[in-house]
Structure 1
Amino acid sequence: MHKTIVFDIGNPGLLENKLFDPIFANKVSHTTLPLIYLYNEAKKVGFEGVTPDVYLANPDSYPNAVLFSHMRTEFTDRLIEAGVKPLIMTNQESPIIAYRFYFDLKKSLDGFSHAFLFSGFKNEAEKTEAEFHVMYFPEPYSPLTVVEAAFENRKLATMICGNKRVSFTMKRFLAGILSGKFYRELYKERLNVIKHFSANPGFDLYGIKWDKPIAGAEAEMRAHVEQCLRGPVDDKTEALRGYKFNFALENTICPGYLTEKIFDPMFAGAVPVYLGAPDIIDFVPKECFVDMRDFKSYAKLEEFLGNMSEEEYRKYIDAINRFIGSDKYALFTQESFAKEVLKILENE
């Protein structure tokens, strides 16, 4: 049995085995917590986990190591050349961010036995040698968490996002032409939300880098941002608890691509106002969120949110509670992800 897992996730801030320190890693992103859970569960059955730099510094100390990668990083090929068996490839990024990875999946998955990818890439992944597994974006929340919402004490809505835009370079454009894969980015749509709702005193914006120029929209957006910006947040869940609704927009529209953005507000007792995966209701019941596609304008959406009674709001919260206690949500838990990965490891 292989006894070492090299966690190759491509974040330089989590080398030196810092990935496995929950306090440190959580400061980088709470989305790293499921990997820490996997690391701890693997230890229980005899696996040691290391980061790439630790392995490469002394490879003889880690015989029969297997590779768990998040996309191909600067370390991936070096690790394989050093004798680490490429076992599991994962990708939790969207195709507008990881476009090189998705442009040629056969090359990206080369050598790996298993691939965890969003369901929209199932058909293409199955043309490779890797066994396909649906990437249900793993969440650190317990399915037993009970959501309570104090309706009268919450402001209308918030959005928590950084000041980001996609740079459509010529290389990215040509990759789209050659592959026939074009995806609508939603960074601009986030700006449209800010532009419309900034005048509503019940709307607040949180996030980093909003003091920097807004690419392609600085003159148009600066006044709107300053009107509603409340700065960065230290605790996203705590911040969300102050609002009835949270605008949860993915960074692109792509089948099967749904992330923590729709789940974070649920566990804070806020109803997601969602735009992203076109097949979202295959994963999350429609009664659990407000679907932005149902509204012809932001004015209509604002009217709907502002006029919602506590009784109607409670129906969403009750539906969320049913969902997070269901088998459907269980697919997105860190427990489910770890169980599937450990099954692969133990069968090696």
Structure 2
Amino acid sequence: MNIAVMTMYGNYYNGDKLFDRTACNIGQNLLLPGIRLKEYIETNGDKYHTYDVYKDNNIDKLICFDIPSNSYFFNNSIQSWVRYLLMGKWLNDGFSKLEKTISVENRILIVQEPPVVSPKSYNMDYHKYFGKILTWNPDLVDNKKYFDFKYPQPVPEKLYSVPFTDKKMFTQISGNKKGVGDNELYSERKKVIDFFEQNDDDFEFYGFGWEKENLKTYKGRTDDKLETLSQYKFSFTFENCSGLKGYVTEKIFDCFFAGTVPIYWGAEDIDNYIPEECYIDYRKFKSIEEVVDFCQKLTEEEYEKYRVAAKNYLNSDYFKENFSVEAYVERMCRAILD
């Protein structure tokens, strides 16, 4: 069986770059689960490649990680933009084109990104083009058309454990981006930076796109996210948006792997997935000043309780059965091969 993969990132991952661990520059090991899935599928005699590798021929199943870019469907960029801007029908036409080779029941949509990043993935009109949809939103899961999906979290070989007394205080790792929507958190990350720019509290942050901002707390990009996080006691860890059920990404897990305590804001039901003793819930504080004061007053013993809880969680059956790479491969194979 020939299985093809599309993403929302257009041609960036063409030529099987999606299975190259070095091709993603926004996080460590983010592509590893997909690589392991490819290895497992191909061990059983099937083929698993990015869509372009097949050159539109002999595709048995199509996997879309979020609604794909229109560049997959139309090679002529002018044609693509005219359809998008004037008629708004490029996606409908694109999937109609696929009807000739891949039936609806053999298409699977994986809804990964939140609405502020991939709003098209939440347009229910587009869901009719797929036989199965995997989503992290528990309210949609019916185990008929909609199935459970969780962001897989590859556990590194080494978990960091920098001593409390050797750590600096606060950090944040975030790109200079702007979001659209009432519950986007890009602007809240910027508020954290603005607060520390005006105060003398111990804070340093990293990420791309800030080079021209002339911010005293900015320390550049980081080539090793976990190593950087490990040098700080606390990290402001905000998802791309708030108020969504089940939207739990690598951001909080990276803190656990690095041995830093996350100050978390994101999934409204985060305590359904991660015990509250593992993180500091930003929503429980009225202001940045309050959370900073709370963290500064924690004793080493109180601080270590968060880290121990996080380690215990990573070793738990719940984590392994829900967020491990092995659980991801099993979940995806059920969707693809059943």
TM-score where L is the length of structure 1 = 0.82
Does structure 2 conserve the Cα–Cα contact (< 8 Å) formed by 1:71 and 1:108? no
**Matching residue of 1:7:** 5
Residues 279 and 167 (structure 1), Cα distance of their counterparts in 2 relative to 1, 3 Å cut: closer
1:1-348 matches, within 5 Å, as 3-11=1-9, 12-23=11-22, 25-27=23-25, 29-30=27-28, 31-56=30-55, 59=57, 63=58, 65-73=60-68, 74=70, 75=72, 77=94, 80-81=98-99, 83-85=101-103, 86-102=106-122, 104-105=123-124, 107-119=125-137, 122-123=139-140, 126=142, 131-141=145-155, 146-167=159-180, 183-198=182-197, 199-212=199-212, 226-253=215-242, 254-330=244-320, 331-347=322-338
Report the AA paired with residue 294 of structure 2.
F
SS at match of 2:114: coil
What's the CA shift for 1:264? 0.8
Does structure 2 conserve the Cα–Cα contact (< 8 Å) formed by 1:113 and 1:130? no
Does structure 2 conserve the Cα–Cα contact (< 8 Å) formed by 1:114 and 1:132? yes
Runs (5+) with no aligned partner, structure 1: 169-182, 213-221
Report the AA paired with residue 334 of structure 2.
K
**C-alpha distance in structure 2 between counterparts of 1:28 and 1:295, whole Å:** 29
- Cα RMSD (Å): 2.2
Deviations 1:274-294 (A, max 9, x none): 011111100110000000111
SS at match of 1:49: strand
- The one of the two structures with greater contact order (alpha-carbon pairs below 8 A, sep at least 6) is 1
**C-alpha distance in structure 1 between counterparts of 2:288 and 2:200, whole Å:** 12
Deviations 1:104-134 (A, max 9, x none): 22x22223222111225x33x65xx962122
Percent of matched pairs sharing the same residue: 31
Residues 333 and 48 (structure 1), Cα distance of their counterparts in 2 relative to 1, 3 Å cut: same
SS at match of 1:119: coil
Does structure 1 conserve the Cα–Cα contact (< 8 Å) formed by 2:282 and 2:291? yes
Stretches (4+) displaced over 3 A: 26-30, 76-79, 144-147
SS at match of 2:277: helix
**C-alpha distance in structure 2 between counterparts of 1:306 and 1:246, whole Å:** 13
Deviations 1:176-200 (A, max 9, x none): xxxxxxx411112111111222333
Deviations 1:189-225 (A, max 9, x none): 111111222333521110111135xxxxxxxxx5xx6
**C-alpha distance in structure 1 between counterparts of 2:160 and 2:228, whole Å:** 15
SS at match of 1:67: strand
Does structure 2 conserve the Cα–Cα contact (< 8 Å) formed by 1:162 and 1:209? yes
**C-alpha distance in structure 1 between counterparts of 2:162 and 2:27, whole Å:** 25
Residues 332 and 196 (structure 1), Cα distance of their counterparts in 2 relative to 1, 3 Å cut: same
Does structure 2 conserve the Cα–Cα contact (< 8 Å) formed by 1:8 and 1:51? yes
TM-score where L is the length of structure 2 = 0.84
What's the CA shift for 1:239? 0.8
